[in-house]
Amino acid sequence: MKLHRRKFLHLAAGAAAVAVAPRIALALDYPTRPVRVIAGYAAGGGPDIVARLMSEWLSERFRQQFIVENRTGAGTNLATEAVVTALPDGYTLLEVTASNAFNATLYDNLSFDFIRDIAPVGSISRTPFVMEVNPSLPVKTVPEFIVYAKANPGKINMASNGIGSAGHVAGELFEMMTGVDMVHVPYRGSYLPDLLGGQTQVTFSPIPTSIEQIRAGKLRALAVTTAARVEALADIPTVGEFVPGYEASGWLGFGAPKNTPAEIIDKLNQEINAGLADPKMKARLTDLGSIAFAGSPADFGKLIADETEKWGKVIRAGNIKPD
């Protein structure tokens, strides 16, 4: 028997409404129990502090606990895998960072595809980096550094938090764009003692890590790595003012397993953005050396895709392999 077209469309619309209704109801009730935020960094570090700051805000807004769970290892891949395999119900979120963009190229045999398997919820912050040197190095500007480095190839040691870290790839990008040759020295612990002691000469460091040493004159800031100047170091130029097109920074946001209902993602995104508009939240992020960075899930998804492509080229060109 053939159904009349109008009747068929009416039935199809009704079926779709029935399918959507539970999702809308789920979003309206969400959350009804505590939510886990899985972080791939150790407790007490900058990314962990930002994740906890936003989790506290969400706990107050939703009247349910958002609990940060630190799951370190494999360059944040263990934390990511835990969220990829979690139920897509909004009760397990991932602290997403620039490391996720690096790892897509850095690691050959991941059990997941980050862009496919994690749904972007919302960006939270950007963290500017600063190109800084030991004051014994006879340079005071980026152009002077480039001239000196080219005259002394392979004699400048560049410190970072490890192979494939944000500071490492930021330095690799600088090398690619300027033609200088530096020796990368990865550290598992803090590189600051050796940088202060002159065993290493330069680093691309998150501003909060060394701003006090810069202010005390123990390190010399040559430039910040973001596209625009940074309030915390207002007198310091950007690398891009001397190397057109150069930009590097850390960033952080929340993600969820793929197939998490869009209604839940939108609800979370709305509250994250409300937090980032709050003056107290903005001030706390500024104190941490970060910048509030609000946007839609689509905006965050585009950032992740763009950064994955950008840093993938750098990692491949530099033949960077995880240690």
- Residues 42, 115: one domain? yes
CATH number at residue 99: 3.40.190.150
What per-residue confidence (pLDDT) applies to 110? 92
* CATH code of the domain in which 229 resides: 3.40.190.10
Domain interval for residue 34: 13-126+249-317
Number of domains observed in the structure of the chain: 2
Q: How many CA atoms lie within 13 A of 60 on its CB side?
A: 8
Would you say residue 4 lies in a domain? no
Does residue 154 share a domain with residue 59?
Answer: no
Q: pLDDT tens track of the chain, all 323 residues?
A: 444 555 544 554 555 555 454 555 556 789 999 999 999 988 887 888 999 999 999 999 999 999 999 998 888 999 999 999 999 999 999 999 999 999 999 998 899 999 999 999 999 999 999 999 999 999 999 999 999 999 999 999 999 989 999 999 999 999 999 999 999 999 988 899 999 999 999 999 988 888 899 999 999 999 999 999 998 898 999 999 999 999 999 999 999 999 999 999 999 999 999 999 999 999 999 888 889 999 999 999 999 999 999 999 999 999 998 87
Q: Do 223 and 139 fall within a single domain? A: yes
Q: What is the pLDDT of residue 167?
A: 94
Task: Convert 175-212 to b/e letters by CB count within 10 Å (16 or more is b).
Answer: bebbebebebbbbeeebbebbeeeebbbbbbbbbbbbe
Whether residue 46 contacts residue 287, with contact meaning beta carbons closer than 8 Å, is answered with no
- Same domain assignment for residues 57 and 133: no
**What DSSP string runs through 164-205?**
T-HHHHHHHHHHHHH----EEEE-SS--HHHHHHTSS-EEEE
**How high is the pLDDT of residue 74?**
85
Whether 141 is covered by a domain: the verdict is yes
What is the Cα 273 distance to its own chain's centre? 17
Paired strand residues for 253: 96, 123
220-224/118-133 β-pairing: antiparallel
Inter-residue contact 232 to 22 (CB < 8 Å): no
Do 282 and 302 lie in a common domain? yes
Q: 51 — phi, psi (to 5°)?
A: -60, -40
Q: Enter the pTM of the model.
A: 0.86
The pLDDT value given to residue 2: 46
| End-of-domain residue from the set 212, 241, 270 | 241
**Domain identity same for 116 and 153:** no
pLDDT at 45 (0 to 100)? 79
The answer to whether residues 65 and 265 touch, using CB atoms and an 8 Å cutoff, is: no
Residues in Cβ contact with 99 at an 8 Å cutoff, skipping those fewer than 6 apart: 40, 75, 76, 164, 165, 166
> Of 208, 241, 274, which residue constitutes the final position of a domain?
241
Closest Cα to residue 101, out of 273, 312, 285, 263?
312
Q: Please say which residue of 241, 265, 292 terminates a domain.
A: 241
> Does any domain span residue 1?
no
**Can you give the pLDDT at residue 231?**
85
Q: Alpha-carbon distance 151 to 180, whole Å? A: 9
pLDDT for 8:
44
